Amino acid sequence: MHPDSQLDAAYWQQRYLAGQTGWDTGGITPPLRDYFAQLGPPDARRILIPGAGRAYEAEYLHRQGWPNVWVADVATAPLQSLHQRVPDFPPQHLLQQDFFRLAPTPAYDLIVEQTFFCALDPGLRPAYAQQCAHLLQPGGTLMGLLFDTEFSQPGPPFGGSREEYREYFAPYFDFVHFDAATNSLPPRRGRELFMCLRKRAQ
Ligand SMILES: C[S@@+](CC[C@H](N)C(=O)[O-])C[C@H]1O[C@@H](n2cnc3c(N)ncnc32)[C@H](O)[C@@H]1O
C-alpha cells in the first residue's frame, strides 16, 4: 500500500460495511471461468488471488478441487464472507495482508487479477507489476482482466490503456495474450483486456 494512500484497509473495509461494492459481480466471471476450465485437472499449483474481495474465483477453484488457492485482501469483511460461504476453505490460505508485503516463498505458479489493479493508486502500477513478478516462479503466469478504458468519475476504479500497462509488465513478463476480452460480463463488454503473461526466467 502506498504510505500516503487514502485507499487503505480502513477505506476498503468501510466500503464493504456500507455495501458500496459496485465491482462485486456476485459470482465468477466468464473470462476467468473459461480460463480455469483449460487448466486441466486440479493439481498442486499454487494460485494467488490478490485484492480478492469476496473471492468467487477462490470459491470456484476450491469447489473444483484445487488444493492450493490463496486469497489476499487488506479488508476483513470479504474474507469473512468467503469463510462463511465456504467453511472448508483452508483458513490459513486467507491472507489478511497488503499485497505489496506478501512473501515470495514458496513462489506462486499463477496469479489471478480482477479489479484489483484498477483499485490501486495508479502510482503503484509499476510496483504491482514488480511484485507480481517477485511472487511468481520463473515461467509462472499472471492472468486476468484489466480495464482498457478511462472512467469519467474520480477513481477507484482508475482507468488506463493497454499501451500504458505494457510498459509496467514488459520488464518481467512475456506477453502470451494481451487483447480485448471476448467474453466479458455485459457491463464490462468492450472495455476489458484479457491478459496472460508469462514470467521470464530473468
Ligand atoms: C475493487 S475491489 C475488487 C475485489 C475483487 N477482486 C472483485 O473483483 O470483486 C479491490 C479489493 O482490493 C483490496 N485491496 C486494496 N488494496 C489492497 C492491498 N494493498 N493489498 C491487498 N488487497 C487490497 C480491497 O480491500 C478490495 O477488496
| Nearest partner of 109 among 153, 158, 49, 54, judged by Cα | 49
Per-residue model confidence as pLDDT tens digits over 72-104: 999 999 999 999 999 999 999 999 999 999 999
Average pLDDT over all residues of the chain: 96
Judge contact between 158 and 148, C-beta under 8 A. Answer: no
Cell (9 digits) for 34: 473459461
Confidence (pLDDT) at 188: 94
pLDDT band at 176 (very low <50, low <70, confident <90, very high): very high
Quick count: other Cβ atoms within 10 Å of Cβ 131? 18
d(CA 20, CA 87): 25
Give all domains of the chain, ordered by start, each with its CATH number. Answer: 44-199 (3.40.50.150)
Minimal-distance CA residue to ligand 1 atom 11: 51
Maximum Cα–Cα distance across the chain:
44
Q: Name the residue of 1, 4, 12 whose CB sits within 8 Å of the most ligand 1 atoms, as the mutation to test its pocket.
A: 12
d(CA 80, CA 87): 10
Continuous segment of H or E residues that includes residue 178: strand 173-180
Q: Name the residue of 23, 48, 73, 98 whose CB sits within 8 Å of the most ligand 1 atoms, as the mutation to test its pocket.
A: 73
Mean pLDDT of 168-174: 98
Confidence (pLDDT) at 6: 87
For residue 147, is pLDDT > 80? Answer: yes
For residue 202, is pLDDT > 80? Answer: no
Confidence (pLDDT) at 1: 60
For residue 118, is pLDDT > 80? Answer: yes
For residue 55, is pLDDT > 70? Answer: yes
Cell (9 digits) for 179: 487483447
Confidence (pLDDT) at 8: 95
For residue 3, is pLDDT > 60? Answer: no
Helix, strand, coil % over all residues of the chain, rounded to 5: 35, 20, 45
